């Protein structure tokens, strides 16, 4: 159990390490659409007896709706609305959006990180997004 907790904390620590206190990024504008593909993803869960498994490649898109919301597509793993973190603040090098137990971070260079930790599972993925 201690190992599971340590892995969960490590995944979220890595994702949250991208936070800073700067403001007013300009690499994303309202209405921008991004198409993303994961390059690596892992998960472990109760149904895998807590053994780490590699996640199949994920493809998804999202749109910047307003300063507080990004909307993922209607199909695939990433779906629905997520609130942009920090009450709608825009950061110069990245934005982050959160949902219940999940955090999605998009960096200015197009790299993304996604982490989810629930009661019976932990997911983490990274990849690349292109703006269209």
Average pLDDT over residues 37-43: 93
The pTM of the whole model exceeds 0.75 = no
Answer whether residue 128 shows pLDDT above 90: yes
Residue 11 pLDDT: 46
Q: Buried b vs exposed e over 17-33: b needs ≥16 C-beta within 10 Å?
A: ebeeeeeeeebbeeeee
Q: What percent of the chain has pLDDT over 70?
A: 73
Domain ranges of the chain: 2-17+30-131
Backbone angles phi, psi at 3, to 5 degrees: -65, -40
pLDDT reported for residue 9: 40
Between CA 89 and CA 97 the distance in angstroms is 10
- pLDDT tens per residue across span 67-78: 788 888 877 667
pLDDT mean over 50-72? 87
Q: What is the CATH number of domain 2-17+30-131?
A: 2.40.128
pLDDT at 108: 87
């Amino acid at each position: 159990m201690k190992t599971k907790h340590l892995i969960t904390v490590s995944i979220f620590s890595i994702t949250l390490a991208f936070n800073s206190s700067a403001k007013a990024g300009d690499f994303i504008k309202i209405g921008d659409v991004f198409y993303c593909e994961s390059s690596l993803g892992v998960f472990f869960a109760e149904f895998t007896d807590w053994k780490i498994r590699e996640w199949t490649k994920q493809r998804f898109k999202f749109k910047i709706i307003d300063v507080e919301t990004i909307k993922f597509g209607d199909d695939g793993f990433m779906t629905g609305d997520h609130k942009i973190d920090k009450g709608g603040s825009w950061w110069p090098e990245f934005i982050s959006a959160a949902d219940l137990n999940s955090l999605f971070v998009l960096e200015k260079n197009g790299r993304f990180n996604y982490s989810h930790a629930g009661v019976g599972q932990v997911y983490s993925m990274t990849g690349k997004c292109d703006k269209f």
